Amino acid sequence: MNKFIILFITIILNVQLYAQDFSEIEKQGFIIIHASENYEASKKVANEAQKHLGYKLDLRNHIKNETLGLSLPKVVCEENGFEYPFYVQRGRAKDGNYISIEYTNIYNSFTEGFYIIVVANFPKTEKNKLKETLKFVKKHYESAYIKYTDIYMGCMH
């Protein structure tokens, strides 16, 4: 009987740990208006999008980096205990309508090597917000689309 109880507890603990790993991942929808291998061209499109959409440009302190595509500045990494270079995915802390430049290598299921202009992101559970926002964005950027990816929400250290 004791072996059965130990086995049962072991199974329950493993299931809880397995579930916890998945709870740290959130499916997010990104509205993308532009993709380019050229960072400067992407910055130009991002600045123009501010005027057309009325959304704020927020690069989240990321700058161009030869290793990762984008990174927080070295001093910011050091202050926060991150190794340099270090990139924080959009969607970890702030959802909504704002313009950012992201580098596709950091995102699951995105074609690598592109700087993309994201104008909104919401959890997949908020599909209506995504659809409403896309409808507005398409008035200015006809080729805008939604792409879903997994965002890791767990500890970054």
pLDDT for 43-99, tens place per residue?
A: 999 999 999 999 999 999 999 999 999 999 999 999 999 999 999 999 987 899 999
What's the CA gap between 47 and 49, in Å, rounded?
Answer: 5
Residue 153 binned pLDDT confidence (cut-offs 50, 70, 90): confident
Using an 8 Å Cβ cutoff, are 143 and 32 in contact? Answer: no
Q: What integer pLDDT is reported at residue 12 of this predicted model?
A: 42
Non-local CB neighbours of 101 within 8 Å, separated by 6+ positions: 39, 42, 43, 46, 59, 62, 70, 115, 116, 117, 118
Total Cβ atoms within 10 A of residue 104 = 19
**Mean pLDDT across the chain:** 88
Nearest to 97 by CA among 136, 45, 62: 136
pLDDT for 11-22, tens place per residue?
A: 443 444 444 455
Q: What integer pLDDT is reported at residue 157 of this predicted model?
A: 63
Domain ranges of the chain: 27-152
Residue 1 binned pLDDT confidence (cut-offs 50, 70, 90): low
> Is beta strand 63-65 parallel, antiparallel or unpaired with respect to 69-71?
antiparallel
Beta bridge partners of 117: 34, 101
Residue 132 binned pLDDT confidence (cut-offs 50, 70, 90): very high
Q: What integer pLDDT is reported at residue 92 of this predicted model?
A: 87
The pLDDT of residue 9 is above 50:
no
